[in-house]
């Protein structure tokens, strides 16, 4: 009988070692946190539109293509986000197609929210409406998608309020969905059946992203053709139809017809023989004296327009006039039209209706233009022009980027002539530029000296615009303070003095943040990457940092630089030699080794790089590169944070480990639930790796992958990070972006995943947050989260309320995993402690001392085994 019991015991424990134990999670409570942005300052992404309210001084909004919308604080003049409540499940709402501010009840604001019209989302567009300047919102779903981040996203505004009857709104839709109208302040909407032209312009049918119909571009009202309290009679609509780009209604929207005498693709002057036919209307504005001004391009933008025009239409006489700004003047003073750009941004001075400004779109070389006219377009003055000696330029402005100095793009800005690099560099790479993707520009309706315009990186503007007319310099400065509109790709928080965080950011490389509340002086350089997709530091020597990313061959001189290393905590960077792209050349010369993720050994002596390109995983060891043939291309890699020789990888449902510095890997676990995982190793714990499996939940291993433990009740986890342990805790704080009890949020655990608390709230959700997360090993409770459009946000425990105590469990001798039970899992943990595989601490160690002699050894294991088998009590 005793022999049988021993056999049964062996069978039980052998079987248990092959299974996946479950740690059951109690329902997650919420704890108060305060949230803010890690300051990059000035923007970082495309600001598509700036919308002043014409009736309330100082009220102005900005819209972005994927980072929500902002309102400008009248006192601080900084922008404040108004859509941070958008949940991860509804991230699509952060793409703002259009925005309207009510000219009558100025507290009302409306947003056409929706990012993509293709199959990248299955969510329809929503019209959001607020009666308190964007503090709270209601919404109405329309039966089609919007395209806040699609081609032509800076045209507009598509969403407009009737200034004479502000209960009426119109919305010009994409994708062949036509014109829509609301008569109850945006609550319900119906299609305007009498408006039959839904547009036909498609940017490029060969690609999914550019294959959609641009549709209707803008709606504008002639408020003088109506009386207060009754609908405006004359309404104009711009349509992406080059043969009939403008429509008008003279009966408050009952009937519509093409505007007589308007220019079409057949009649526009051809300024660039290589361009497409002109005819896409970008903006239409009616001045206070009844002139309709319209800007046109040959494309919808915002990346490319090769030709364009500016026209005006006298709504009183019906006369059309071509007022396109000339590209230059001949020796005899005659205007020349040799455009390589179109026209987009347009604004009329509300104080002086014959004064207007327009922007070029898109003059990548040498810089974009702003044109100003004070005589209704009869003559124009460009903000810069070529000088007498090629390629010198005469500048009519200064440029101040001191509030966001990273806008020098890693180059040395020349203080002479307003910080614009002169000489030959001015032809190729002026630093800083006036801007690019300048799809919208606005003059403050209450102050003719204030002008702002959106770019692909920030909001620029001036407070002395009228000095231009006096022959004096216009002082352009950064006016995007408060806007944080970046897509974050990677985050690390090395525990070193003088560095709070290092971020990898798409489009603008990334930054070493020395102060969370002050923007960095410069982006990371040498090399300056388009986006830093992977970052890592050496846990045992955290001043050593490596980063990898993507590069733009048209922007940077040497496209084969896509990895950098620092040995002084990010103060300086150097390129890793030899150049890996020459060691592993691709069949296509443009397919250099770039992107992906990188893992640096704990001592910083070697690293493993899994790029996004075709070359496969590679290892840098002993000053040279080696191919890692034992891993599939695209595997996600990380390093053990204690043992410099150990690396881990995950790919294709398989967990891999390496014990030779990443040169070879061996599959440790196969047929795991998750197809892929952004695995992360735990600082200070050899063999501890956490495995977020997206929709398969969250797992971890404490023995380098030999045993995989699953956290039950976490139905989704995308990213995981670690930070300083709670006082008295024996395991680092764990942070995830994931789902518990059906709610996707940011969660923290202080007890190795047994209990979780939600640490963000419904007003701080930030849309997509499944890209990067990390805690801070120096500050308990601090967590950094990378968003897709709202930059880096960070949270810290609020001081105005205590955190709830996790639900108590019954603690007694033998209950080593502290779950209120004594079973074979406790025995396994005790055996692993005795074998020095894992070390017990705290209450777990106390409960493992079965005989109470102060020492945990094999005698305690023997006693616990007999208790589990009910041999002894």
Residue 534 clears pLDDT 80, i.e. is over it: yes
132 band by pLDDT with thresholds 50, 70 and 90: very high
Residue recorded with tokens 């009754």: 230
Direct distance between the N- and C-terminal alpha carbons of the chain, in angstroms, rounded to an integer: 19
Q: How do residues 744-797 score in pLDDT, each as one tens digit?
A: 999 999 999 999 999 999 999 999 999 999 999 999 999 999 999 999 999 999
Are 104 and 166 in contact by the 8 Å Cβ rule? The answer is: yes
Mean pLDDT of 834-844: 70
Instruction: From the candidates 224, 400, 469, 507, give the one annotated as an active-site residue.
Output: 507
Residue 587 clears pLDDT 90, i.e. is over it: no
Comparison of pLDDT for 862 and 55, the residue scoring more: 55
CATH fold match for the domains 41-383+434-478 and 809-868: no
Residue 573 clears pLDDT 50, i.e. is over it: yes
- How is residue 407 annotated by DSSP? G
C-alpha–C-alpha distance, residues 434 and 362, integer Å: 12
C-alpha–C-alpha distance, residues 297 and 152, integer Å: 11
C-alpha–C-alpha distance, residues 744 and 729, integer Å: 26
Q: Which CATH class is domain 41-383+434-478?
A: mainly beta
C-alpha–C-alpha distance, residues 114 and 127, integer Å: 9
b/e string for 258-271 if b means 16 or more Cβ within 10 A?
Answer: bbeebbbbeebeeb
Q: Is 13 left (phi over 0), alpha (psi -120 to 50) or beta?
A: alpha
Q: Return the percentage of the chain with pLDDT > 70, whole number.
A: 90
Are 268 and 309 in contact by the 8 Å Cβ rule? The answer is: yes
Instruction: From the candidates 65, 306, 718, 860, give the one annotated as an active-site residue.
Output: 65
String of DSSP letters for 86-126: --GGGGGGGSEEEEEE-SSSTT-EEEEE---SSTT--PPPE
Q: What pLDDT is stored for residue 866 in this prediction?
A: 67
Average pLDDT, the chain: 90
Q: What pLDDT is stored for residue 430 in this prediction?
A: 67
**If we measure between CA atoms, which residue out of 732, 705, 704 comes closest to residue 720?**
732
Domain 486-797, what architecture? Answer: 7 Propeller (2.130)
Residue 840 clears pLDDT 90, i.e. is over it: no
Domain boundaries, the chain: 41-383+434-478, 486-797, 809-868
C-alpha–C-alpha distance, residues 638 and 719, integer Å: 13
Whether 89 is catalytic: no
* φ, ψ dihedrals at 465, nearest 5°: -60, -40
Beta bridge partners of 799: none
C-alpha–C-alpha distance, residues 821 and 813, integer Å: 10
457 band by pLDDT with thresholds 50, 70 and 90: very high
C-alpha–C-alpha distance, residues 99 and 451, integer Å: 19
**If we measure between CA atoms, which residue out of 531, 533, 511 comes closest to residue 522?**
511
614 band by pLDDT with thresholds 50, 70 and 90: confident
Domain 809-868 has CATH 3.30.70.240: no
Residue recorded with tokens 């060691």: 583
Q: How do residues 184-199 score in pLDDT, each as one tens digit?
A: 999 999 999 999 999 9
Q: Which residues contact 707 (CB under 8 A, 6 or more apart)?
A: 17, 701
C-alpha–C-alpha distance, residues 169 and 179, integer Å: 11
Q: How do residues 314-370 score in pLDDT, each as one tens digit?
A: 999 999 999 999 988 777 778 888 899 999 999 999 999 999 999 999 998 889 999
Strand 320-322 and strand 308-314: pairing? antiparallel
Whether 65 is catalytic: yes
Mean pLDDT of 271-291: 97
Q: How do residues 369-415 score in pLDDT, each as one tens digit?
A: 999 999 999 999 999 988 877 777 888 999 999 999 999 888 765 44
For CA atoms 164, 168, 174, 177, the dihedral sign is: negative
Q: What pLDDT is stored for residue 808 in this prediction?
A: 42
Lowest mean pLDDT among 248-257, 404-413, 566-575, 857-866: 857-866
Residue recorded with tokens 């204690």: 642
429 band by pLDDT with thresholds 50, 70 and 90: low
298 band by pLDDT with thresholds 50, 70 and 90: very high
b/e string for 329-356 if b means 16 or more Cβ within 10 A?
Answer: eeeeeeeebebbbbbbbbbbbbeeebbb
Residue 593 in tokens: 């080794």
CA distances from residue 867 to 212, 822, 823, 850 in whole angstroms, order as listed? 69, 9, 9, 10
Q: How do residues 59-102 score in pLDDT, each as one tens digit?
A: 999 999 999 999 999 999 999 999 999 999 999 999 999 999 99
C-alpha–C-alpha distance, residues 478 and 407, integer Å: 9
Confidence (pTM): 0.87
Q: What is the 3-state secondary structure (H, E, C) of 511-543?
A: EEECCCCCCCCCCCCCCCCCEEEEEEEECCEEE
Residue 28 in tokens: 């997650």
């Amino acid at each position: 009988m005793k022999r049988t019991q021993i056999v049964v015991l062996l069978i039980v424990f052998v079987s248990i070692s092959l299974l996946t134990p479950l740690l059951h999670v109690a329902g997650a409570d919420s704890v108060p946190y305060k949230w803010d942005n890690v300051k990059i300052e000035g923007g970082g992404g495309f600001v598509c539109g700036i919308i002043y309210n014409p009736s309330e001084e100082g009220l102005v909004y900005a819209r972005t293509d994927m980072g929500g919308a902002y309102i400008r604080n009248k006192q601080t003049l900084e922008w404040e986000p108004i859509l941070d409540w958008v949940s991860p499940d509804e991230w699509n709402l952060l793409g703002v197609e259009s925005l309207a501010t009510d000219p009558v009840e100025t507290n009302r604001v409306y947003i056409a929210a929706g990012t993509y019209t293709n199959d990248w989302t299955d969510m329809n567009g929503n019209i959001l409406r607020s009666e308190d300047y964007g503090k709270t919102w209601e919404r109405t779903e329309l039966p089609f998608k919007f395209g806040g981040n699609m081609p032509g996203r800076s045209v507009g505004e598509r969403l407009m309020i009737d200034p004479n009857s502000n209960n009426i709104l119109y919305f010009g839709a994409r994708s062949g969905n036509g014109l829509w109208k609301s008569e109850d302040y945006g609550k319900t909407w119906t299609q305007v059946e009498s408006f039959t032209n839904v547009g036909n312009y498609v940017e490029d049918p060969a690609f999914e992203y550019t294959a959609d119909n641009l549709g209707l571009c803008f709606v504008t009202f002639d408020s003088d053709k109506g009386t207060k309290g009754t609908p405006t009679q004359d309404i104009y609509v711009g349509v992406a139809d080059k043969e009939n780009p403008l429509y008008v209604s003279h009966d408050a929207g009952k009937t519509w017809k093409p505007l007589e005498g308007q220019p079409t693709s057949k009649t526009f002057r051809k300024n660039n023989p290589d361009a497409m036919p002109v005819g896409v209307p970008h903006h239409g504005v009616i001045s206070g004296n009844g002139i309709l001004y319209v800007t046109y391009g040959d494309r919808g933008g915002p990346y490319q327009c090769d030709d364009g025009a500016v026209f005006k239409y006298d709504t009183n006489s019906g006369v059309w006039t071509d007022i396109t700004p000339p590209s230059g003047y001949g020796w005899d003073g005659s205007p020349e039209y040799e455009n390589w750009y179109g026209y987009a941004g347009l604004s009329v001075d509300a104080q002086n209706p014959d004064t207007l400004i327009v922007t070029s779109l898109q003059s990548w070389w040498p810089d974009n233009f702003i044109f100003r006219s004070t005589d209704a377009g009869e003559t124009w003055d460009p903000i810069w022009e070529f000088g007498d000696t090629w390629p010198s330029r005469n500048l009519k402005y200064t440029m101040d980027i001191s509030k966001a100095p990273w806008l020098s793009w890693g180059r040395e800005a020349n203080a002479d002539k307003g910080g614009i690099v002169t000489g030959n560099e001015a032809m190729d790479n002026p630093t800083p530029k006036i801007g690019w993707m300048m799809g919208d520009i606005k003059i403050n309706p209450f102050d003719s000296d204030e002008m702002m315009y959106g770019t692909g990186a920030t909001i620029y503007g001036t407070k002395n615009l009228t000095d231009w007319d006096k022959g004096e310099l216009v002082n352009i400065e950064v006016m995007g303070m408060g806007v944080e509109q970046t897509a974050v790709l990677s985050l690390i928080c090395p525990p070193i003095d003088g560095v709070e965080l290092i971020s990898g950011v798409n489009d603008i490389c990334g930054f070493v943040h020395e102060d969370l509340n002050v923007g960095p002086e410069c982006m990371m350089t040498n090399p300056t990457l388009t986006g830093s997709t992977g970052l890592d530091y050496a846990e045992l020597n955290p001043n050593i940092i490596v980063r990898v990313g993507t590069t733009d061959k048209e922007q940077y001189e040497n496209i084969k630089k896509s990895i950098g290393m620092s040995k002084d905590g990010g103060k300086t960077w150097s390129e890793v030699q030899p150049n890996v792209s020459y060691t592993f050349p691709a069949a296509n010369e443009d397919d250099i080794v770039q992107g992906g993720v990188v893992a640096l050994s704990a001592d910083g002596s070697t690293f493993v790089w899994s790029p996004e390109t075709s070359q496969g995983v590679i290892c840098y060891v002993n000053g040279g590169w080696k191919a890692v043939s034992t891993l599939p291309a695209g595997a996600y890699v990380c390093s053990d944070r204690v043992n410099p020789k150990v690396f881990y990888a995950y790919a294709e449902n398989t967990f891999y480990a390496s014990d030779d510095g990443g040169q070879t890997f061996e599959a440790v676990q196969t047929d795991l639930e998750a197809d892929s995982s952004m695995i992360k190793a735990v600082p200070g714990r050899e063999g501890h790796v956490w495995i977020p499996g997206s929709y398969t939940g969250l797992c971890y291993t404490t023995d380098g992958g030999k045993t995989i433990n699953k956290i039950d009740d976490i139905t989704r986890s995308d990213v995981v990070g670690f930070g300083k342990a709670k006082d008295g805790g024996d395991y680092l704080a764990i942070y995830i972006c994931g789902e518990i009890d059906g709610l996707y949020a940011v969660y923290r655990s202080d007890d190795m995943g047994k209990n979780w608390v939600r640490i963000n709230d419904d007003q701080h959700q930030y849309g997509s947050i499944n890209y990067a997360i990390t805690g801070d090993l120096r500050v308990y409770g601090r967590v950094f989260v990378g968003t897709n459009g709202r930059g880096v946000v960070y949270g810290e425990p609020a001081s105005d309320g205590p955190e709830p105590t996790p639900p108590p469990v019954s603690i007694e001798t033998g209950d080593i995993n502290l779950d209120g039970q004594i079973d074979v899992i406790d025995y396994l943990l005790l055996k692993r402690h005795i074998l020095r595989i894992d070390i017990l601490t705290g209450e777990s160690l106390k409960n493992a001392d079965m005989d109470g002699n102060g020492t945990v050894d094999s005698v305690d294991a023997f006693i616990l085994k007999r208790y589990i088998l009910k041999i002894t009590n």
